[in-house]
Structure 1
């Protein structure tokens, strides 16, 4: 089923921060933030076993398990099975380092086979306290986690997770499946397959105001031709576009800080909040069905919703284009 027929709106909630990404977040902060999201009408929630070794799913489940199941759309991911035993050494998260150092200590088994896919879904349902997932993403079969070995992981998923998820979709157990990655190449390969065929994809960090040119070259034209929808993850580029200092989950390098400064200078001149520019840019492409910023403070929810509604003058987008700060191939709000 097409994503735009499943998703309840253009903005959802990404729960990676609830897994204690970057810092330990109190249960009270998490509860208040999730309550704010629900109270302000957010009805699409995305999670993953990886986020804090199941912590984000557990915390999300404390809210959603108390709500009528038909009133929200829920996605999670496969590729990681959370074990009861405690991790004895450091986690291997590729170039993401100690992203969830403050999460649960449970050992994470990285496995995209058919058997592990079914176990992963069962584990997610238990932690979330629900009876079904609407969308399942195949998580992180890309270069940033696996380096030169990523094609082997892709093949493991193609013959394992892809086939299981296609069967579950055809049986009506889930409504859609796709890839949830931080790189474009795995999605491109998946879209070239005859079968099994994904319904959509979650692309994190690769269609943002700061980083979008590569996605526009090949992936997004392919997706548009095939009528395959995209959920945009990480629209603030790990925080640098929302007043933070991180880019790609690490301290932003000088060239990124300089680029953000140039964007902000133009935004300030036009009275445009940079968060609004970031969110609305990510949604302007016809393939974009939704964007899922994360949050750990209730105030961020109203900020995101206000950013989505912000009236941005066409002249702002035109100046960004003329300054070379957005790709000439990027569709911009207002038809620029």
Structure 2
């Protein structure tokens, strides 16, 4: 089943910030943000065990418990199992470093085996307080491994998580599965397999105004050829496009800040919000099924929903192309 057949709209809510990403937020603020998303018509929610070591799933589940289960679509991820044992010292979260240092202190086991996948799903269902998941993503597969170890970990996922999720899809337990990553290579490799076959993928931070050329070269043409859909995660590039200071989960380098400044000048010239440019750009590719910005404040949700429907003049997209700020190969909303 294609993602476009499953997803209830083109705007979803990415819940990584609910895991205390970059900062600790009060429970009441987290709950108000999810409630605002619901009130503004958002019906697709994406989460993961890694987001605050289960904190985001718990917070999301507490709010969604009061909503009709058939009224929304829910996705989470496998690849990280949250242990009962607490971490006493510094946490090793790979390249994502300490972005969830304010989350729960539980230890996180990185594993894509069949057993870990089944365990992870069971735990997620408990934290979310639900009886079913709609979509399951294989999270950050082999993210922090290289060389022979990368191959080993990918094979672990292929023979473990991929096959478990394919079986659950065939049994009707879940509607779809795919990869949830911020690198294009694992998706390209998966799409080259004869089996198991994913239904789509969640690509975070790799199809944005600031970073899209690599995805355009091989991944997206391959996905389009195979009729595989994409959910765009991290459309604001870790926040730097939305007024934040992070890019790729780290303090943004000067070159990125300079590019953001040029984008802001262009949007201001045309009376367009940066968020509208970012979301509508990410959705313009034929493979894009939905975009899932994250938020920790109700006001940010209001901005996101308004940005999606904002009337962006064709002249802006024409000037954006002419400025060289986006790839000539990138589809734009007006086809400019």
TM-score (norm 1): 0.98
Q: Which residue of 2 is the match for residue 131 of structure 1?
A: 131
Q: Counterparts in 2 of 1:98-117, with a 5 A limit? A: 98-117=98-117
1:90, CA displacement in angstroms?
2.1
Q: Which residue of 2 is the match for residue 146 of structure 1?
A: 145
Q: Tell me how far apart the structure 1 counterparts of residues 145 and 231 of structure 2 sit (CA, whole Å).
A: 23
Q: Which residue of 2 is the match for residue 204 of structure 1?
A: 204
Q: Which residue of 1 is the match for residue 193 of structure 2?
A: 193
Q: Which residue of 1 is the match for residue 289 of structure 2?
A: 289
Q: Tell me how far apart the structure 1 counterparts of residues 220 and 41 of structure 2 sit (CA, whole Å).
A: 29
1:152, CA displacement in angstroms?
2.1
1:57, CA displacement in angstroms?
0.2
Q: Which residue of 1 is the match for residue 228 of structure 2?
A: 228
Q: Which residue of 2 is the match for residue 83 of structure 1?
A: 83
Q: Tell me how far apart the structure 2 counterparts of residues 165 and 91 of structure 1 sit (CA, whole Å).
A: 29
Alignment RMSD (CA, Å)? 0.9
1:68, CA displacement in angstroms?
1.2
Q: Tell me how far apart the structure 2 counterparts of residues 132 and 175 of structure 1 sit (CA, whole Å).
A: 10
SS in structure 1 at match of 2:260 = helix
Q: Which residue of 2 is the match for residue 93 of structure 1?
A: 93
1:17-55 Cα distance to aligned partner (Å, 9 max, x none): 000000001001001111111111110000000000000
Q: Tell me how far apart the structure 2 counterparts of residues 330 and 2 of structure 1 sit (CA, whole Å).
A: 23
Q: Which residue of 1 is the match for residue 49 of structure 2?
A: 49
Q: Tell me how far apart the structure 2 counterparts of residues 150 and 93 of structure 1 sit (CA, whole Å).
A: 16
Residues 142 and 320 of structure 1: CA distance in aligned 2, closer, same or farther (over 3 Å): farther
SS in structure 1 at match of 2:206 = coil
1:281-330 Cα distance to aligned partner (Å, 9 max, x none): 00000000000000110011110011001111111111111111100110
1:7-26 Cα distance to aligned partner (Å, 9 max, x none): 00000000000000000010
Q: Tell me how far apart the structure 2 counterparts of residues 81 and 122 of structure 1 sit (CA, whole Å).
A: 10
**Matched length:** 335
Q: Which residue of 2 is the match for residue 314 of structure 1?
A: 314
Q: Tell me how far apart the structure 1 counterparts of residues 150 and 261 of structure 2 sit (CA, whole Å).
A: 34
SS in structure 2 at match of 1:177 = strand
Q: Which residue of 1 is the match for residue 167 of structure 2?
A: 167
Unmatched tracts of structure 1, length 5 or more? none
Q: Tell me how far apart the structure 1 counterparts of residues 305 and 58 of structure 2 sit (CA, whole Å).
A: 25
Is the CA contact (8 Å cut-off) linking 1:142 and 1:181 kept in structure 2? Answer: no
1:217, CA displacement in angstroms?
0.2
Q: Which residue of 2 is the match for residue 8 of structure 1?
A: 8
1:89, CA displacement in angstroms?
3.1
Q: Counterparts in 2 of 1:239-254, with a 5 A limit? A: 239-254=239-254
SS in structure 1 at match of 2:145 = helix
Q: Which residue of 2 is the match for residue 67 of structure 1?
A: 67
SS in structure 2 at match of 1:334 = coil
Q: Tell me how far apart the structure 1 counterparts of residues 62 and 192 of structure 2 sit (CA, whole Å).
A: 39
Q: Which residue of 2 is the match for residue 325 of structure 1?
A: 325
Q: Tell me how far apart the structure 1 counterparts of residues 97 and 10 of structure 2 sit (CA, whole Å).
A: 31
SS in structure 1 at match of 2:201 = strand
Is the CA contact (8 Å cut-off) linking 1:142 and 1:182 kept in structure 2? Answer: no
Q: Tell me how far apart the structure 1 counterparts of residues 202 and 146 of structure 2 sit (CA, whole Å).
A: 20
Q: Tell me how far apart the structure 2 counterparts of residues 239 and 320 of structure 1 sit (CA, whole Å).
A: 20
